[in-house]
Structure 1
Amino acid sequence: MEKRAAELAVANRELAFQNEEKEKRAAELVIADQELLYQNKEKEKRAAELVIANQELLFQNEEKEKRAAELVVANQELLFQNEEKEKRAAELVVANQELLFQNKEKEKRAAELVVANQELLFQNKEKEKRAAELVVANQELLFQNEEKEKRAAELVVANQELLFQNEEKEKRAAELVVAHQETVRRLKNIQALQKIDQAIAGSLDLDLTLNVILEQVKTQLNVDAAAVLLLNQHTQIFEFKAGLGFRSKAIERSRLRLGEGYCGRAALERRTVSIPNLLENSSQFDRAQLLADEGFVTYFGAPLIAKGQVNGVLEIFHRLPPAPDENLLDFLLILAGQTAIAVDSASLFIELKRSNAQLFAAYDSTIEGWSHALDLRDKETEGHTLRVTEMALKLARAAGITEEELVHVRRGALLHDIGKMGVPDYILLKPGKLTDEEWVAMRQHPTFAFELLSPIAYLRSALDIPYCHHEKWDGSGYPRGLKGEQIPRTARLFAIIDVWDALLFDRPYRQGWSEERVREHIRSLTGTHFDPEAVALFFRAVHGKP
């Protein structure tokens, strides 16, 4: 309550202060009104004085006219008196005194007349001055009127200039709208080309790339349908490859020879063929019957040329006459160029893929040939290489090795004993046990393999098995004495497979072991010769037993 009372007191004081301010402003307004009233009264007084002055001037003029009239009368009277003087010459003596008096009166009147004449002269001069001032005022008014006319003329000119500027602005605005539309169109074209470039760069699937291109062709050129026909370089026949916007599949049956129809003509003459009215030229349209149900009225065909070679034709169709567009043909040529690049890139990729496949096949054939040559050299181990290669791939897949790496695993397995090509026959084919010196020579074969294969670039990634499959988990292996995970993973896996197959089959110096005996032998070497995890995986993946 006290706070509210305090707030109310403050509000009352503020209200009282505002009322005082209002009263002050009201008092000031009263004073201003009084001052305005006083000024109005002064103006009325001055107007009344001006009226009185004008009336006095009028009165003086009237007086002057009266005095002038009196002067005329006086002059007539003087003439009459002179005549009377002549008549009354006899009465002159008697009348002299009277005449003297009259002369004095006349002199007074003459003096008054002189004063009146001087005053009249002054008034005339004043009138002349006022007339001159009036002339000046009239001239000034005339000058002001001329200035007004000049300003009016300038205003007309300014209005005309403003109208011209507005028209120019409207023209520029219209040009800006056209420029904006052109910019938007070009931006859309650039975006379309970017999408096509991304499709070309991001996909090696020609069908997918052509579908992207045809979508952009249909959208950006505002056409009803579009198709790509590719030239079979062997038969020189154009065949359907991709299409969009067609009501039926008739277009897919298109087969045209080079130079045949509008499509063949566009390719043969290497220029865009434009047919604005297919109905008038239906007899010349080679696929008129084929596309009878489509209702097309216009046709454009642009050749697909890359590196100077025609690869096909990009065709577009309208079902209604299109609005004139000078940019259509230009952008069609650009899109045709992009399509040609896509087709050429796909062709190059397919050719490259075929060449790579042939090259890889040649590589594999060479590797298999080397492996077979080694088997032919050592009849006792014939078949060993193919068996261990098959098991190595199986075990590598179980270990999660990628398909890309499996290629190197296969090559390494096939060439795991390629170093034995450097071991003399008397050692390699010896039916009995080897001496210590012979073992030194035999243990050189991984090094021989490294020296033989490392200069060959495509086989460097396959070196782990040939170079390291005789290394042991505890570091007692050869040729480098690697230990544990220093040994490449594929070599650790393959070491088990190599021992398994070597013990399971006959050798010149011993009979093959039973599978159970080999299994126990490998288990006994776990942690010394073999990686324990690799052993467990081998029995689980290859034999299905722990």
Structure 2
Amino acid sequence: MFGVILTLSAYLLVTRQIVDETGAVTQSAVDKHFAVLPQLQRLFTDASVSQEAPFNRDATEGHNHEEASPATDEGNLPHNQLESIIRMHFDLYNIQDVVIYDLFGRVLFSYDDSRLNGQLTQGDRLPFKKAIEDGQRSASDQRGILHLWIPIQDSEGRTVGALEALRDISDRKSDSLGLIALLALLSLAGMLVLFFALRQLFIRSSRTIDSQNRELSEMVERIRRTYDESLQALSSALDSRDNETRGHSQRVTAYAWMLGKQLGLDEERMEWLIRGALLHDVGKIGIPDAILLKNGPLTEEEWVVMKGHVSQGVQMLRSIEFLGPSLDVVGYHHERWDGHGYPNGLQGEQIPLAARIFSVCDTYDAMTSDRPYRAACTHEEAILELQKNSGTQFSPAIVDAFLQISQEKLDSVRDLSKHQSLPFPLTSRDLSQVG
């Protein structure tokens, strides 16, 4: 499209240049020949016509031809001889036809002698008037024939008439068209070469970008996997510190994933929930062994210290940006639906959804796991306990969703956690094998 527009513009500009240049050369030739040829000057020897009667329509239509006639034919050449002189000089410029008018639009000379003493046609009045009154040349291109109107001036610079000429410029236009066509072909060839060069560059760049994107995606995935593996290692270290809760973080994470899936959480919120579940008790790192590993019941003062693991956990993870959304589980998993939990006494939907989900899963795993001071409850007993505390300790909607998870799926988590030699799946993609 750009090439077509460029070619068309070049053609119009060159054509305009040819018209202007040809018109200027023709006018120069006319001025020169009228200045040196007395035969042409004698056409305007009637001074009264050439100086006193400016052109206008009324004057032209009402003019008496006899009064406007130039000087008598005595001394003037016959038409055929005058035509021979004019043709001899003007044919050099490829001028095909010549008509000379006086100021009134009367034909003083024409190659067609039948037009002598005839009047200006209605269609030619505007260019004739421009030549006579404004003294300006006008030109129009008519399919390779240049139609010119040129003012004729006497030796004193006064306009005495106008010359109408038809000049053939088809050869010059053809030459220019051929040159423009050649330039267009060269431009097109250059554009095609540029297009294919840019296309190859684009393809290579696209492939490089795709390759870099894949490498970046793989790198991000490796970093993400490293984060998750690090969290799993930390979670395992926490569990190994307390023999009573060994495997607890892994199991409760799997339960939370199942429950989150049951509730329709998207993948991003599921990842937040999983990471929060893994690290929910990370604050216990700061709890003294004497309290954390105590066999008997804790005193009131010891409970105060134990409850501090929540705020300690939040403080430890607060500066890790990618774990920010997961702090909902770490900071609020001991809140109760009725508002009697800790550390903030939140109630109802004030408690973040992830913490409400985790609370149910945490309690279920605690009830179905063996402890030194009691045996594990059965699945049915744990379910009855969850239903009993629905609306007080737990969100009723969360309990109802948990009840929709089959016992077989819950049992598969406990079975998998018993095999210490097997890696426990703890990412959203990995956990699908146990769900």
Q: Which amino acid aligns with 1:425?
A: D
Match of 2:76 among 140, 150, 172: 140
Shift of residue 168, structure 1, vs aligned partner: 4.7
What is the number of residues matched between the two proteins? 271
Structure 2 residue 196 is matched with structure 1 residue 332: yes
Contact 1:432 1:508 in 2 (8 A): no
Structure 2: which 5+ residue stretches go unaligned?
A: 1-70, 97-144, 147-166, 410-435
User: Can you list the C-alpha shifts for 1:161-211, whole angstroms capped at 9, x where unaligned?
Assistant: 83664445455666777788889x6xxxxxxxxxxxxxxxxxxxxxxxxxx
Distance 1:382 1:154, change over 3 A: same
Give the distance between the partners of 1:472 and 1:152, measured in 2 at CA. 118
Offset of 1:489 from its aligned partner? 1.5
Distance in 1 (CA, whole Å) between partners of 2:250 and 2:78 is: 125
Deviation at 1:328, TM superposition (A): 5.2
Q: Distance in 2 between matches of 1:485 and 1:173?
A: 82
Offset at 1:471?
1.6
Structure having the higher helix fraction is 1
Distance 1:182 1:503 in 2: 85
The reply to whether residue 393 of structure 1 matches residue 257 of structure 2 is yes
TM-aligned CA deviation for residue 486 of structure 1:
2.2
Question: In structure 1, what residue type is equivalent to 2:75?
Answer: Q
Distance of aligned partners of 1:166 and 1:541 in 2 relative to their CA distance in 1, 3 Å threshold: farther
| CA distance in 2 between partners of 1:448 and 1:490 (Å) | 19
Q: 2:381 corresponds to which letter in structure 1?
A: R
Larger relative contact order, structure 1 or 2 (CA cutoff 8 Å, min sep 6): 2
1:536 and 2:400 matched:
yes
Letter in 1 for 2:86: K
Q: CA deviation at 1:332?
A: 3.4
Structure 1 residues 148 and 334, CA gap change in structure 2 (3 angstroms): same
- Whole-Å Cα distance in 1 between the matches of residues 84 and 395 of structure 2? 113
The TM-score with structure 1 as length reference comes to 0.45
SS of the aligned residue for 1:541 comes to coil
- Give the whole-Å Cα distance in 2 for the aligned partners of 1:168 and 1:479: 97
Structure 1 contact 450–466 (Cα < 8 Å) conserved: yes
CA RMSD between the two structures: 3.2
Q: Please state how far the C-alpha of 1:532 moved relative to its aligned partner.
A: 0.8
Q: Is the 8 A contact 2:253 2:277 kept in 1?
A: yes
Alpha-carbon deviations, 1:452-488, whole Å to 9, x = none?
A: 1121112112222122211222222222222222222
1:426 alignment counterpart: 290
Q: Taking every aligned residue pair, what percent have the same amino acid on both sides?
A: 35
Q: Which residue is 1:405 aligned to?
A: 269
Instruction: Select the structure of larger CA radius of gyration.
Output: 1
Task: Indicate whether 1:150 and 2:14 are aligned.
Answer: no
Q: Distance in 2 between matches of 1:484 and 1:522?
A: 16
Deviation track 1:412-461 (CA, whole Å, cap 9, x = no partner) reads 11111112112222221111222222222222222222111121112112
Contact 2:339 2:346 survives alignment (8 Å)? yes
Q: 1:50-87, CA deviations, whole angstroms, 9 ceiling, x for partnerless residues?
A: xxxxxxxxxxxxxxxxxxxxxxxxxxxxxxxxxxxxxx
Distance in 1 of aligned mates of 2:285 and 2:186: 73
Task: After TM superposition, list the pairs within 5 Å mapping 1:203-282 onto structure 2.
Answer: none
Output the CA distance in 2 between the equivalents of 1:136 and 1:507.
144
1:365 maps to 229
Q: Structure 1 residues 155 and 352, CA, compared in 2 at 3 Å: closer, same or farther?
A: same
Q: Structure 1 residues 480, 456: CA separation in 2 closer, same or farther (over 3 Å shift)?
A: same
| 1:438 aligned to which of 302, 327, 336 | 302
* Structure 1 unmatched runs, 5+: 1-134, 186-324
- State the alpha-carbon separation in 1 of the partners of residues 172 and 321 from structure 2: 72
What is the alpha-carbon distance in structure 2 between the residues aligned to residue 176 and residue 486 of structure 1?
79
Deviation at 1:140, TM superposition (A): 2.9
- Taking the TM superposition and a 5 Å limit, the aligned residue runs for 1:9-408 are 137-142=73-78, 146=82, 149-150=85-86, 153-154=89-90, 157=93, 159=95, 162=146, 165-170=169-174, 325=189, 329-408=193-272
Note if contact 1:430-1:508 (Cα within 8 Å) is conserved in structure 2: no
Measured in 1, the distance between the counterparts of 2:343 and 2:261 equals: 27
Q: Distance in 1 between matches of 2:81 and 2:342?
A: 122
Structure 1 CA distance, aligned partners of 2:185 and 2:300? 90
Q: TM-score, normalised by structure 2?
A: 0.55
